[in-house]
Amino acid sequence: MSDQLTPAAPEAAKPDADTGGKPRLRLTGQMIIQEIVEGGPVVITILAVFLALVISALLIVFSDPNVIHAWGDFFSAPGNAISMTWHSIATAYSALFEGSIFSPATIGAAFHGGSIAAIFYPLSLTAFEATPLILTGLSVAIAFRAGLFNIGASGQFVGGACVAAWIGFAVHLPVVIHIVACVLGALVGGAILGWIVGELKARTGAHEVIITIMLNYVMYNLLNFLLSSTNFLQQPGQSNQIAPPIQQNATFPHVGGPPPQANVGFLVALAAVAGVAWLLSRSTIGFQFRTVGANPRAARSAGMSVERSWALVMLISGGLAGLAASTIIQGGGPPPPLNPNTYGTYGFDGITVALLGRARPVGVLLAGLLFGALQAGGTVMQAATTPQVPVDIVEVIQGLIVLFVAAPPLIRAIFRLRAARGAGLEAVAKGWNG
């Protein structure tokens, strides 16, 4: 990943590449310093995360009535005000960490006859939450690489979810085949929606952002319609808009433990990361995607079909969003069977994941894990704090991180870093007219 994220690295390493191991090591150290001083992408990302956590901490503090009260008595008890502030932040963020990565208490418990699996429980939660985020993130990222902005992952997610849920509850198949059928159905459902967007863009030049936003709402209404009739997806005997639970045969086997822990869906996501990485860096199609994304005119001069690439990349992008839906539908809970809320925020979270991951597959994996960790830890944090720190803070943190990552000059100005050469988010800056 590092060679993709640090443009300066290969050039710096070249001159000394044949002089043996030691100078190379020295250079690596130099590269790290250079990266820090110049505020390269990795450093920018770390600083962005830090800054987002600081701002969110302020938000947590200033909305805590106890802390506000303590500051009101600042002159009579200054120590109390500061310790209350610290306590408020520390409880929230340590719960966030313990809920998502590792809780020291579980080690002690393991020595005293507790389960060893409990040590890995938070990580398993994180993997579970990260699974759909990685997949929708990949969906947005691959379209990015071809110069398209897929805001429609939400709609494609719904498309995949409808097909997966229907195959899951209405069709009877043997165990492994049923799982595969559901996954493929979700893939196809999402891919069709994505392809529609790509094809419309290719044939008419209409802006994909507008089409995808509109299709999101079309799909949302379609989902509502399908869920309000037992002829389609509604569970018989239900007045709520909810689909029947899928059969046991179609549910993913566990990997980490019973839900809400990681299941086979996480492995699907990892496989998708590997697949997209291979596609983008090793295949002809991927080369065409990247060329079209970098410069459509050059791609056309080189004899590539820009339109075919658009249609194809949206097909794949939609398929990945559909796959994300299958990991939710077949995950065996905790989200209930398909309902209007399944629509969720997965699609839009995918955009933030793709942006933070700089549209690189491995970057998306890491960003997805980070946001998954925030989500998993956020739920634990909400339960562990009084007054509650609502899990919505996670969305604020995500938004802030991406906002800062998108504006490296701001981060450099705040932390007094020198400008790097060619660093920053490779945004596809273009207007509605292309």
Partner 1 sequence: MTTLVTPIRQPLTLNRDSLAAGFFVLLGAIDIVVFGVFAHAGHATFQLSLSGSGIQIPNVKVPAALVCYVVGGLSVVIGFWRGIAEPSPRLKRYAIGAVITFFLAALLCWADAGNETAVNLISLIQQSFTASIPLVFGALAGCMCERSGVINIAIEGQLLVGAFTGAIMASAIGSLWIGLISSSIAAGLLGLLLAVFAITFLVDQIILGVVLNVLALGLTGFLYDRLMVPNANLNAGNSFSAVKVPLLGHIPIIGPIFFDSTIFLYIAYVLIIVIQIGLFSTRWGLRVRAVGEHPTAADTLGLRVLWIRYRNVVLGGMVAGIGGAFLTIGSVGFFNKGISSGFGFIALAAMIFGRWTPLGSVAAALLFGVADSLAIVLSSLNVPIPSNFLLMTPYLATIVAVVGIVGKVRAPAADGKPYVKA
Residue ranges binding partner 1 (CB under 8 A):
59, 63, 65, 149, 151, 200, 202-207, 209-211, 213-218, 220-222, 224-225, 228, 296-297, 300, 305-307, 345, 348-349, 351-352, 355, 387-390, 392-400, 402-403, 406-407, 409-410, 425, 427-434
Distance CA 38, CA 27 (A): 16
- Cα separations in angstroms, 284 against 138, 144, 147, 288, 307: 19, 17, 17, 6, 16
359 DSSP 8-state letter: T
Specify the DSSP class assigned to residue 254.
Answer: B
Residue 401 Cβ, how far from partner 1 at the closest point, in Å? 9
Specify the residue, 152 or 337, whose C-beta has the smaller distance to partner 1: 152
d(CA 96, CA 379): 8
Q: List the structure tokens of 75.
A: 């002159």
CB 324, CB 139: distance < 8 Å = yes
Question: Min. distance of Cβ 356 from partner 1 in angstroms?
Answer: 10
What minimum distance in Å lies between the beta carbon of 432 and partner 1? 4
DSSP result, 376-407: HHHHHHHHH-SS---TTHHHHHHHHHHHHHH-
Sign of CA pseudo-dihedral 7, 412, 429, 309 = positive
Q: Which is nearer to partner 1, 12 or 213 (CB)?
A: 213
Task: Decide whether 262 or 292 has the Cβ nearer to partner 1.
Answer: 292
Question: 84 to each of 51, 76, 351, 380, 383, how far by Cα in Å?
Answer: 21, 14, 36, 21, 19
Q: Could you tell me the smallest distance in angstroms from the CB atom of residue 64 to partner 1?
A: 8
361: Cα separation from own chain's centroid: 11
Polymer length in residues for the chain: 434
Q: Is 263 helix (H, G, I), strand (E, B) or coil?
A: strand
**Shortest separation between residue 92's beta carbon and partner 1, angstroms:** 11
Residue whose CB is less far from partner 1, 104 or 409: 409
CB-wise, 247 or 385, nearer to partner 1?
A: 385
In whole angstroms, the minimum distance from the beta carbon of 82 to partner 1 comes to 21
Q: Of the two residues 155 and 331, which places its CB atom closer to partner 1 in the complex?
A: 155
CA dihedral of 200, 184, 358, 283, whole degrees rounded to 10? -80
CB nearer to partner 1: pick between 156 and 326:
156
Q: Least Å distance between CB 139 and partner 1?
A: 14
